[in-house]
Structure 1
Amino acid sequence: MGPDHPQLEIYQESKHGIKYDNFQHLMNLESDSWVVGKDYSAAPTCATCHMSATPNLPVTHDVGERISWTLRPAISFKLENWEQKRGKMKEVCNQCHTKQSTDNFYVQFDEAVELWNEKFAKPAKGLMDYFYESGKLTRTPFDEKLEWTYYELWHHEGRRARHGASMQGPDFTQWHGFYEVAKNFYTKFLPECEEIQKGVTEQILASEYHSWKKGMTEDQKKKVLEFYKQRYGQ
């Protein structure tokens, strides 16, 4: 549905979307009563998670009522009353999943968003803010190459990674998300920043998040090889 908001495609590739495609006939879709955990549990739709009733929650037309993070801006943040919002979403999840499964999902989701924020979003926005404040970029939107690169980094690639993590779409989290983020952060965004001011990215690259660029130690290489031998017999 677009490079910055592929929620439909993410849903279709997720286990929820796959179950919907295969088990619609078990979802009681023609029933006047349509309460997850009571009238059906075969698969969820978008409405199931964001709007529909549970045995303990009423129907809502506020699609943000159960959302704890905002994934729209360059740097994500938790919304006001996010604990209450998350509690409502967990109530939906727990109609079909165990509490541990639900809690584990949120650990992974939170860590993915925080990885985006700390490794890519905050450093990138910090550089952009510095360039604007120092006059190295004009205030005219999109009149310079770096602005296009930065926009696509957070608005397209970064959103896909975060949305993929929120809806359990691994291809959008990784290949259409973090892979594209990392590729363009290291091969486009940072080099373009260096073209504007040499040395401006040194402090960012000194962070532990980017230590991979220093190369792997012999011990790290050995552990990776041992893992693949054990996992794949190669």
Structure 2
Amino acid sequence: MHSKFYKILLLVGLGSVVGVILLLQMYRFAVGPQGVEISFPTLSQVSLTSSPENAQCIECHQNESPGILDQYHDGKHSQRGVQCLDCHKPLEGQEKMTTVHYEVQMVAAPTPNNYAQCHDEAVHEFSISAHAAKSWYPVVGAEDFTKEELAKYHLLGEDGKPLNNGKPNVIRDVIGKDASALSCEACHGIGKKNDDGSFGDCRACHLGHDFSIEQARQPETCGQCHLGPDHPQMEIYNESAHGTYYAANKEKFNLGAPTGTLTTKDFPSPTCTTCHMSGIGDIEPTHNVSERLKWNLAPPIATIRADGRQNRQTMESICLNCHAQGTIDEHMTQAEKIIDLTNENVRKGQSIVNELRTIGLLPGSTMSTPIEYLEFELWHHEGRRARFGAIMSGADYVNWHGIYEQEKALVEIKAEAEEMKKD
């Protein structure tokens, strides 16, 4: 009797184990992150519960563009039941963007207005950041903006007129629209104006259809745009102690930690988002990448932002998770001396070039003589590099790519000006 009972108990136990294994495998192949690795079409939580239109989206794209579905099944949207048309369904004001795709009305490229249905706070923070309208303005000037938008996004000068006289960055005119489309606009398009009146593209950082927070937190994602001769934050980060630690210990980072819960255990060294966006300690997360910055380092003459001193306190609260206040104060004091030096050098170069214009030795059109390129790069390249290097601890960019290059350029500008005066 006991033997029979134990046999039944053993069979029930084995059956339970097998059942659990089968359930785990079903999860793995259906909605788990490994589901995309199998060879036959996968089913997400969405496809199991979706409307006929959404089911058709999944069925068709599984055959026509499976890469999209692979990413989608791997992401949290799919796992949490967010359906295709939750993002791609047209909203009021998106009539110009709406197309009929297999008898279904949709917007091919959702805008922040679509995402605001679920992420309204993040969209608002993004909209007032330098990644939105302020990013788009330099490549198009005022032509894409209404008067109300220029005022709303602080694109008017103290005189009430559009910044830079409403013109795009001078280099955009030098290289032309075709070159700009695949260069300047490729990065500044993160803030491009959409046909529904919104500005920006969330997919610039949350790439693909998985919209991974882990991906957005990696420095390499920011490095898509923040690199090169005029804003080499990626290169500076890589040579800094922060970047070196990250590169050597990437496996220690919990890049997928839930928003608002980050500690130094998750991020033992900061990535770009740790300092500029993430919530850590008592600091709340934000999608406004300018919210923690004291200085505006990009213009010819670097200036302190309107809320700059308060912003610095917020940034230092993040630094204090790893550094002593004395260390922070010493670094920032030295960095601001470099910023002042770059401003001084830029003013010297501007003074020489402006004198040549005043006495009529420079033509009316800009960027048509060597000395104008030297003066432009004095701030747009060398000045910025030294400033970013100083703040982010990139010694090579402070000196050899920064102050040294400025000093060299000033010698060349002076010599060029003297030759022009002789002629």
The answer, yes or no, to whether TM exceeds 0.5 is yes
Match of 1:130 among 355, 377, 382: 355
Whether the 8 Å contact between 2:378 and 2:409 is mirrored in structure 1 is yes
Match of 1:60 among 286, 291, 298: 286
Whether the 8 Å contact between 1:69 and 1:76 is mirrored in structure 2 is yes
Aligned to 1:4: 230
Aligned residue for 2:362, secondary structure, equals coil
Aligned to 1:169: 394
Aligned to 1:93: 319
Map of 1:154-233 to 2, 5 A cutoff? 154-186=379-411, 188-197=412-421
1:107-145 deviation per Cα after TM superposition (whole angstroms, max 9, x unaligned)? 011000011112x11111122223223322223111122
Q: CA 1:101–1:42 in 2, change beyond 3 Å: closer, same or farther?
A: same
Aligned residue for 1:91, secondary structure, equals helix
Cα displacement (A) at 1:39: 4.2
1:179-232 deviation per Cα after TM superposition (whole angstroms, max 9, x unaligned)? 21112222x11111222336xxxxxxxxxxxxxxxxxxxxxxxxxxxxxxxxxx
Q: Which amino acid aligns with 2:285?
A: V
Aligned residue for 2:228, secondary structure, equals coil
Aligned to 1:148: 373
Aligned to 1:29: 255
Q: Distance in 2 between matches of 1:35 and 1:129?
A: 52
Q: Distance in 1 between matches of 2:269 and 2:318?
A: 12
Whether the 8 Å contact between 1:37 and 1:96 is mirrored in structure 2 is no
Q: Which has the higher contact order (CA 8 A, sep 6+)?
A: 1
Whether the 8 Å contact between 2:254 and 2:267 is mirrored in structure 1 is no
Aligned to 1:69: 295
Q: Distance in 2 between matches of 1:139 and 1:57?
A: 50
Q: CA 1:13–1:29 in 2, change beyond 3 Å: closer, same or farther?
A: same
Whether the 8 Å contact between 2:390 and 2:398 is mirrored in structure 1 is yes
The alignment's TM-score, normalised by the length of structure 1, stands at 0.78
Whether the 8 Å contact between 1:68 and 1:78 is mirrored in structure 2 is yes
Q: Distance in 2 between matches of 1:139 and 1:90?
A: 46
Over aligned residues, Cα RMSD in angstroms? 1.7
Matched, 1:80 2:80: no
Q: Distance in 1 between matches of 2:264 and 2:246?
A: 17
Whether the 8 Å contact between 1:41 and 1:96 is mirrored in structure 2 is no
Q: Distance in 2 between matches of 1:179 and 1:23?
A: 33
Match of 2:270 among 27, 38, 44: 44
Q: Which amino acid aligns with 2:383?
A: G
Moved more, 50-59 or 134-143: 134-143
Percent identity between matched residues is 37
Q: Which amino acid aligns with 1:81?
A: D
Moved more, 125-134 or 81-90: 125-134
Whether the 8 Å contact between 2:389 and 2:395 is mirrored in structure 1 is yes
Q: Distance in 2 between matches of 1:163 and 1:195?
A: 34
Q: Distance in 1 between matches of 2:319 and 2:397?
A: 21
Q: Distance in 1 between matches of 2:361 and 2:335?
A: 36
Aligned residue for 1:197, secondary structure, equals helix
Q: Distance in 2 between matches of 1:33 and 1:2?
A: 30
Whether the 8 Å contact between 1:35 and 1:52 is mirrored in structure 2 is no
- Kindly name which structure, 1 or 2, has the bigger radius of gyration based on alpha carbons: 2
